């Protein structure tokens, strides 16, 4: 499959502070790629380099096969959508006027405004001034603006950081629909549940270095302790091995009709991150 993003040996120094050190990864076409890490780990710096807002100190960053710095050209700008960590909306204007400006800048028909507002469940807020919206609504409008022009590649920097679970679900639904349409999504988050739900592959970034990169499923299996927890009728829980010894114990429990539930003890992405980096995500 074609690579939309190819990053090799990427490094960024701010004064003498190293924000990124030798970062390499590829993002395939149509993939949702999660860039996970705590605040200050280098996630936003990476997005800024990949969207030509920042120049790298070293290494290469190719997007659509060209150096990221070329993305300043209008032709490439139309292919990407960016949701930044700040809303960047005009407070005195209405939701409609804000989106209309971007329709005109991207050469998109104004009928698209209703479509994207529907996707973020904010059709009723169309005539409201941005200054009257809640933080969560602002985040959803910013997201709507990011995919207004149906970009081939969408950069999302903490897309649900200000949202409650209900609104987050709306966003997930919208992103899944974009993915079905073939949009490649590069997502940064410190929300591991979000990464599990949305991402095909994830990279763990810590102190400017990628420490792990794989599919969430492969990572969970890699870090699993290969045991099962069996909940018994008396309320107790037994942890048994998945091998032949465990099978015998399981057979006995089942024969005596003691088993209430069985589940595997796979770690969450959050558990894996803590194990690998020794840091909590926040």
Partner 1 sequence: MTFSIKRSIAILQKDYKDVSKNLFVGSSIFMPLVLAALYGRLGVESINEFYMIFNMTFCLVAAYVQCSLIAEEKEKNTLRGLMLSPASTVEILAGKSLLSFIATVLVIAFAAFLIEYKPENILVISIALILSTVFYIGLGTVLGLVTKSVMEASVVILPFMAIFSFGSFLTVFAEKYPILKVAEYMPNSQLIILASEVQIGASLADIWFNLLVILAWVAVIYILVVIVYRKRMMD
Q: Is 55 in the site for partner 1 (CB under 8 A)?
A: yes
Q: Which residue has the tokens 């990949």?
A: 50
Q: Is 218 in the site for partner 1 (CB under 8 A)?
A: no
| Alpha-carbon 196 to chain mean position | 9
Considering the complex, state which of residue 97 and residue 200 has its C-beta at the smaller distance from partner 1.
Answer: 97
| Number of Cβ atoms within 10 Å of the Cβ of 150 | 18
Q: Give the one residue of 11, 93, 228, 232 binding partner 1; rule: CB under 8 A.
A: 93
- Binding residue count for partner 1, defined by CB under 8 A: 29
Q: Are residues 174 and 143 in contact, defined by beta-carbon separation less than 8 angstroms? A: yes
> What is the pattern of x (binds partner 1, CB under 8 A) and - over residues 105-124?
xxx-----------------
**Stretch touching partner 1 by CB under 8 A, among 21-29, 66-74, 180-188, 198-206:** 66-74
The CA distance from 179 to 52, in Å, is 24
Q: Are residues 161 and 18 in contact, defined by beta-carbon separation less than 8 angstroms? A: no
Q: Are residues 14 and 33 in contact, defined by beta-carbon separation less than 8 angstroms? A: no
Q: Give the one residue of 77, 123, 170, 179 binding partner 1; rule: CB under 8 A.
A: 77
Q: Give the one residue of 62, 101, 228, 274 binding partner 1; rule: CB under 8 A.
A: 101
The CA distance from 143 to 120, in Å, is 8
Considering the complex, state which of residue 78 and residue 128 has its C-beta at the smaller distance from partner 1.
Answer: 78
Q: Which of 245, 242, 221, 240 is nearest to 229 (CA)?
A: 240
Q: Is 220 in the site for partner 1 (CB under 8 A)?
A: no
The CA distance from 138 to 161, in Å, is 11
The CA distance from 58 to 47, in Å, is 15
Q: Give the one residue of 145, 190, 201, 220 binding partner 1; rule: CB under 8 A.
A: 145
Q: Give the one residue of 86, 111, 257, 261 binding partner 1; rule: CB under 8 A.
A: 86
Q: Is 13 in the site for partner 1 (CB under 8 A)?
A: no
Cβ 104 to partner 1, closest distance in Å?
Answer: 3
Q: Are residues 139 and 120 in contact, defined by beta-carbon separation less than 8 angstroms? A: no
Q: Give 213-282 as a DSSP string.
A: EE-HHHHHHHH---EEEEEETTS-EEEEESSHHHHHHHHHHHHTT-EEEEEE-PPPHHHHHHHHHS----
Considering the complex, state which of residue 14 and residue 263 has its C-beta at the smaller distance from partner 1.
Answer: 14
Q: Is 69 in the site for partner 1 (CB under 8 A)?
A: no
Q: Is 97 in the site for partner 1 (CB under 8 A)?
A: yes
Considering the complex, state which of residue 92 and residue 255 has its C-beta at the smaller distance from partner 1.
Answer: 92
Cβ 75 to partner 1, closest distance in Å?
Answer: 8
Considering the complex, state which of residue 156 and residue 240 has its C-beta at the smaller distance from partner 1.
Answer: 156
What SS3 state is found at 70?
helix
**Stretch touching partner 1 by CB under 8 A, among 24-32, 95-103, 245-253, 254-262:** 95-103
**Residue numbers at the binding site for partner 1 (CB under 8 A):** 48, 51, 53-55, 72-75, 77-78, 82, 84, 86-93, 97, 101-102, 104-107, 145
């Amino acid at each position: 499959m074609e690579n939309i993003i190819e990053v090799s040996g990427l490094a960024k120094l701010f004064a003498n502070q190293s924000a990124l050190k030798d970062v390499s990864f590829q993002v395939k076409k149509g993939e949702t790629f999660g860039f996970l890490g705590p605040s200050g780990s280098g996630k936003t710096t990476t997005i800024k380099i990949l969207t030509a807002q920042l120049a790298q100190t070293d290494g290469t960053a190719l997007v659509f096969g060209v150096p990221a710095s070329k993305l300043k050209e209008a032709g490439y700008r139309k292919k990407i959508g960016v949701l930044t960590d700040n809303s960047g909306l005009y407070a005195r204007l209405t939701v409609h006027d804000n989106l209309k400006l971007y329709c005109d800048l991207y050469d998109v028909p104004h009928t698209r405004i209703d479509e994207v507002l529907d996707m973020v469940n904010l059709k009723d807020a169309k005539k409201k001034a941005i200054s009257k919206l809640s933080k969560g609504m602002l985040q959803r409008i910013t997201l709507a603006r990011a995919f207004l022009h149906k970009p081939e590649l969408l950069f999302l920097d903490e897309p649900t950081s200000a949202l409650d679970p209900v609104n987050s679900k709306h966003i997930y639904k919208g992103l899944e629909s974009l993915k079905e349409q073939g949009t490649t999504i590069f997502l940064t988050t410190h929300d591991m549940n979000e990464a599990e739900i949305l991402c095909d592959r994830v990279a763990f970034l810590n102190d400017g270095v990628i420490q792990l990169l794989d599919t969430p499923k492969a990572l969970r299996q890699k870090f699993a302790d290969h045991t099962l927890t069996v909940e018994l009728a008396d309320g107790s829980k037994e942890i048994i091995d998945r091998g032949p010894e465990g099978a015998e114990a399981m057979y006995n429990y089942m024969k005596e009709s003691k088993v209430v539930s069985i589940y595997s003890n796979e770690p969450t992405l959050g558990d894996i991150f803590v194990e690998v980096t020794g840091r909590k995500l926040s």
